[in-house]
A and B are shown apart, each in its own frame.
Chain A
Amino acid sequence: MKTATRLSLVLILAAIGSARAADTIKIGLLAPLTGSWASEGQEMKRNVELLAAEQNAKGGLLGKQVEVVVEDDGGDPRTASLAAQRLTTRGVVAVIGTYGSAVTEATQNIFDEAKIIQVANGSTAVRLTEKGLKYFFRTCPRDDEQGRVGAAVLAKTHAKKVAILHDNSAYAKGLADEIKEGLKGKPVEVVFFDALTPKEQDYSAILTKLKAAGPDVVFFTGYYPEAGLLLKQKRQMGWKVPFIGGDAINNPDLVKIAGVEAAEGFEFLSPPVPKDLDTAEAKAYVAAYQKKYGEAPSSIYGVLAGDGFRVVAKAIEGAKATGADQLREYLVNGLKNFPGYTGKISFNAKGDRVGELYRVYKVDKTGGFALQP
């Protein structure tokens, strides 16, 4: 009986809480505001809200003000699917998000069935755009591109024996597989392919095992906390073989964890970090962000979310409509070389961003990240 009373309460509250129609254009943002990637989610929110405010100052979209509806996906698929469901009931015309391929994947069908455009900013798994989903796009690159670049970087080092280390997460293993694929047919032997456990502290066992395999270079595709520890412990052991990393390494804390001496000379792949964005508009945007929030954006994925918002806004203006089919039509066919802050943006029919985004970075003597030519 208590259950019945409680359920009645739910019904009443839900009726009160249902979405009300308002005269704004609602654009949703699905982001990890809590959980392990909270820092990414917070930046995504800041970027999109700043851009929405700028758009509104210019008169909004199609004469209406833009409203950003934010939902937290907690960095895990189940919370994300509930959050996505919630967004579909709020009258949003498009959703930006999210970070983390597995998390995005859990929401794809929901938005597709609700006919809402989704523009992901931090989900690089290849298969997300291989399912034929009409309304799914992404401003971030794909792992196979990173794999190609990774293999090319490895080839340039003239290494004969390569070790590949990942952390069994969807992203890292995917990237590790892509790099292994990319090395096929090249005169390089992969002498080691295994995973470490993230969130651990002691990698001396793994490093010792790696060392015993005798590689010329080690490619680590996992995240920056583990990379920092690996570099630090590698130095403690006195092992000098160079390490290269993927784009999840891109975080200033890497140097804090490893220590400047251990991190120096470490290379990694990444889309350009915000401070290296070279167009005049990008620099102006970074300055505006700095002015509003007191610090420059540190994650490129936040800026990619911002670019996601901007292409959606452009599509709405260009198509003069908010229906999913018209927006898709515009994004695939009408949007060519849009001047995004992260570079020129065009989408192919699968929803992928066209063009090469990955660059090589090296940690310099002061611990800064220097863009390599």
Chain B
Amino acid sequence: MSRRLLVGYASAAVVLGIAPLFLDPYWVDVLNSVGLYALLALSLNLILGDAGLFNMGQAAFYAVGAYTAAILSTQLHVPILWALPVSGLVAALFAALVARPVIHLRGDYLLIVTIGLGEIVRIALVNDVFGLTGGANGIFGIARPSILDHKIRRPQEFFYLIWAFVALTVFLFHRLEQSRFGRALNYLREDPVAAEGSGVNTARYKLLAFALGAGWAGMTGSLYAAKMTIISPESFSFWESVVVFLMVILGGSGSIPGVLLGAALVVMVPEFFRGLASARMLFFGLVMMVMMVVRPQGLLPLRAPRFKRSDLPRAEPAPGAAPGGAK
């Protein structure tokens, strides 16, 4: 990780750390919203940015996680923080199951399938599938999280919980980028045929990326459920998937700091312009169209490795050249 990035993260951490002391609960809650969306955007980034899979149904996995946590909390009285990994697991398994038959589809087709999937999940939730989801009413009475007997209730308390999770996620995902898994994903995004030819089992890695991204979205869902204490199908509509997709594209697909910036902008800008709420979506549409023409790589894209002059002395001499000979 570059020095600049580390400095950026450190300063952001400091500012965020002291923010709740200065802001009123409303703005803290806005930052909570940013945090949750940042988690979602990071999870989608794994699927869309790193693996290059067009996914516009992330809300479905978000919903699966949220509802799993809600059901565990209200029916089985499982403390919500224990339900967190379970929701992630359920969402990941669900994703693996539904993605398996379609993972080989070409870009725009996968996109449409994920949209369809998102809608099916939403309709299933509204129709109270298996009698568990409460239909359009949703599920209410979800317990608040408690750490060491301290119940987390106020926005300021949730702030630290959510952003701690964000920090953990950022750290883990950066490590993942550098790992073999991350490199394989990059490879298969850039050139699937070459990757397959080099022995990378593209189908398996794509599925893993999908499942991991979905699982993370699922965990975010359980955080959301704990915070709102009631969840209903309206919060998991196609529009949610579009918003998260937009955050990734706007910030820079594949770039973790870019995605964080995208999340912050998309959540906070409308809060400053609350009066123009109805024009907000119009603006989003316009931004999407313009961005693709003007800056398709996003605001903070991945930096492609650049060869600088200062790298020259470290470069090896070409084979056959006079050893130690300089020109």
The answer to whether A and B touch in the complex, with CB atoms under 8 Å apart, is: yes
- From A11, A81, A170, give the contact of B22 (CB < 8 A): A11
Q: Write out the residue numbers on chain A whose beta carbons fall within 8 Å of the beta carbon of B257.
A: 3
CA distance A304 to B274 in the complex (A): 26
A11-B11 in contact (CB<8A): no
B4-A1 in contact (CB<8A): yes
- From B29, B126, B137, B277, give the contact of A85 (CB < 8 A): B29
A4-B33 in contact (CB<8A): no
Number of residues of chain B lying within 8 A (CB) of chain A:
47
B25-A85 in contact (CB<8A): yes
| Complex interface: stretch among A12-20, A251-259, A276-284 | A12-20
Q: Verify if B203 is at the interface (C-beta below 8 Å from A).
A: no
For window 249-284 of B, CB contacts with A under 8 Å fall at 257, 260-261, 264-265, 268, 271-272, 274, 277-278
Q: Verify if A82 is at the interface (C-beta below 8 Å from B).
A: yes
Contact string, A75-87, partner B, CB cutoff 8 A, digits 1/0? 0111001100110
CA distance A89 to B155 in the complex (A): 12
A10-B137 in contact (CB<8A): no
Q: Verify if A231 is at the interface (C-beta below 8 Å from B).
A: no
Q: Verify if B204 is at the interface (C-beta below 8 Å from A).
A: no
Known: A6-B264, A72-B277. A85 touches B26 (CB 8 A): yes
A89-B26 in contact (CB<8A): yes
- Closest chain-B Cβ to A218's Cβ sits at a distance in Å of 21
- From B24, B140, B229, B260, give the contact of A3 (CB < 8 A): B260
For window 1-56 of A, CB contacts with B under 8 Å fall at 1-4, 6-8, 10-11, 13-15, 18-19, 33-34
- Closest chain-B Cβ to A30's Cβ sits at a distance in Å of 13
B22-A15 in contact (CB<8A): yes
CA distance A3 to B268 in the complex (A): 12
B8-A102 in contact (CB<8A): no
B229-A109 in contact (CB<8A): yes
- Closest chain-B Cβ to A249's Cβ sits at a distance in Å of 18
- Closest chain-B Cβ to A75's Cβ sits at a distance in Å of 9
CA distance A82 to B229 in the complex (A): 14
Q: Verify if A200 is at the interface (C-beta below 8 Å from B).
A: no
B136-A77 in contact (CB<8A): no
Most buried by A among B234, B235, B265: B234
Closest residue on chain A to residue B279 by CB atoms: A34
CA distance A273 to B300 in the complex (A): 56
- Closest chain-B Cβ to A32's Cβ sits at a distance in Å of 11
Known: A34-B277, A88-B26. A11 touches B19 (CB 8 A): yes
CA distance A3 to B19 in the complex (A): 14
For window 134-157 of B, CB contacts with A under 8 Å fall at 135-138, 140, 153-155
Closest residue on chain B to residue A195 by CB atoms: B127
CA distance A169 to B27 in the complex (A): 31
Closest residue on chain A to residue B14 by CB atoms: A4
For window 72-122 of A, CB contacts with B under 8 Å fall at 72, 74, 76-78, 81-82, 85-86, 88-89, 102, 105-106, 109, 113
Q: Verify if A161 is at the interface (C-beta below 8 Å from B).
A: no
Q: Write out the residue numbers on chain B whose beta carbons fall within 8 Å of the beta carbon of A13.
A: 272
Q: Write out the residue numbers on chain B whose beta carbons fall within 8 Å of the beta carbon of A19.
A: 24
B277-A7 in contact (CB<8A): no
A88-B25 in contact (CB<8A): yes
Q: Write out the residue numbers on chain B whose beta carbons fall within 8 Å of the beta carbon of A105.
A: 140, 230
CA distance A77 to B11 in the complex (A): 34
Q: Write out the residue numbers on chain B whose beta carbons fall within 8 Å of the beta carbon of A4.
A: 8, 11-12, 15
Q: Verify if B81 is at the interface (C-beta below 8 Å from A).
A: no
Q: Verify if B228 is at the interface (C-beta below 8 Å from A).
A: yes
A7-B19 in contact (CB<8A): yes
- Closest chain-B Cβ to A86's Cβ sits at a distance in Å of 4
B12-A7 in contact (CB<8A): yes
CA distance A225 to B155 in the complex (A): 39
A2-B261 in contact (CB<8A): yes
B15-A82 in contact (CB<8A): no
Q: Write out the residue numbers on chain A whose beta carbons fall within 8 Å of the beta carbon of B25.
A: 85, 88-89
For window 77-121 of B, CB contacts with A under 8 Å fall at none
Q: Verify if B232 is at the interface (C-beta below 8 Å from A).
A: yes
A3-B234 in contact (CB<8A): no
Known: A3-B8, A11-B19. A18 touches B24 (CB 8 A): yes
Q: Verify if A168 is at the interface (C-beta below 8 Å from B).
A: yes
B228-A106 in contact (CB<8A): yes
Q: Verify if A173 is at the interface (C-beta below 8 Å from B).
A: yes
A86-B26 in contact (CB<8A): yes
CA distance A15 to B19 in the complex (A): 11
Q: Verify if A150 is at the interface (C-beta below 8 Å from B).
A: no
Q: Write out the residue numbers on chain B whose beta carbons fall within 8 Å of the beta carbon of A78.
A: 228, 235
Known: A3-B260, A4-B11, A169-B136. A14 touches B22 (CB 8 A): yes
Q: Verify if B291 is at the interface (C-beta below 8 Å from A).
A: no
- Closest chain-A Cβ to B77's Cβ sits at a distance in Å of 18
Q: Verify if A174 is at the interface (C-beta below 8 Å from B).
A: yes
Q: Write out the residue numbers on chain B whose beta carbons fall within 8 Å of the beta carbon of A81.
A: 29, 228
B153-A170 in contact (CB<8A): no
Contact string, B298-327, partner A, CB cutoff 8 A, digits 1/0? 011000000000000000000000000000
Q: Write out the residue numbers on chain A whose beta carbons fall within 8 Å of the beta carbon of B272.
A: 13
A77-B4 in contact (CB<8A): no
Q: Write out the residue numbers on chain A whose beta carbons fall within 8 Å of the beta carbon of B137.
A: 102, 125, 170, 173-174
A8-B234 in contact (CB<8A): no
Query: Known pairs A2-B261, A168-B135. 5 more at Cβ < 8 A?
Result: A2-B8, A102-B230, A102-B234, A109-B229, A173-B137
Give me the interface of A with B, judged by CB distance under 8 Å.
1-4, 6-8, 10-11, 13-15, 18-19, 33-34, 72, 74, 76-78, 81-82, 85-86, 88-89, 102, 105-106, 109, 113, 125, 127, 168-170, 173-174, 195
Give me the interface of B with A, judged by CB distance under 8 Å.
4, 7-8, 11-12, 15-16, 19, 22-27, 29-31, 33, 126-127, 135-138, 140, 153-155, 228-230, 232, 234-235, 257, 260-261, 264-265, 268, 271-272, 274, 277-278, 299-300
Leading 5 A-B pairs by shortest Cβ distance? A1-B8, A4-B11, A86-B26, A89-B24, A170-B137
A-B pairs with beta carbons under 8 Å apart, 24 shown: A1-B4, A1-B7, A2-B300, A3-B261, A4-B11, A4-B15, A6-B264, A6-B265, A7-B16, A8-B15, A10-B23, A14-B22, A14-B27, A15-B23, A34-B278, A77-B230, A82-B271, A88-B26, A102-B137, A102-B232, A113-B154, A168-B135, A168-B136, A169-B136
